[in-house]
Amino acid sequence: MLLTTPVKAQLKIAENVRAKRIAIELTQEGLAERSGVPLATLRKFEQKGAISLESLIKLLMVTGGVEELIEVLKPAKPAFKSIDDVLKGDGEVTRKRGRRR
């Protein structure tokens, strides 16, 4: 269960990108110039968290993190490729139980 809202997630992402910008000692103007994202868009993003995906990727290309974003969004590989793989399984059922208090 996710305990964050979309707005909170946007603000946290903006906060993290701002921290990366500061860590590499770039001003908002410098990041806007290097990324090709308009300064007004960058300022709005850092204040409200609102930005397009394309602009976010441009910012991450300068501050770092594009590869990590791509990696995180990769779909998980299925455990089985076909029904035959499922049927070949050892048939052993493993049960999981909660801890006792």
In-domain check, residue 100:
no
> Where residue 61 sits, what CATH number does that domain have?
1.10.260.40
Range of the domain at 56: 6-66
Give domain status of residue 1, yes or no. Answer: no
pTM beyond 0.85, yes or no? no
In a domain, 97, yes or no: no
Task: Using the Cα atoms of residue 19, residue 22, residue 23 and residue 26 in order, give the sign of their dihedral.
Answer: positive
> What is the residue-wise DSSP string for 37-53?
--HHHHHHHHHH----H
Return the ∠ at Cα 75 (arms to 73 and 79), rounded to 5°: 150
43 within some domain: yes
Residue found under tokens 């394309």: 54
Residue 84 lies in a domain: no
> Which regions of the chain does DSSP assign to beta strands (E)?
none
Count: domains in the chain: 1
Going by pLDDT thresholds of 50, 70 and 90, the confidence category of residue 95 is low
pLDDT one-digit tens code per residue, 25-79 = 999 999 999 999 999 999 999 999 999 999 999 999 999 999 999 999 998 877 7
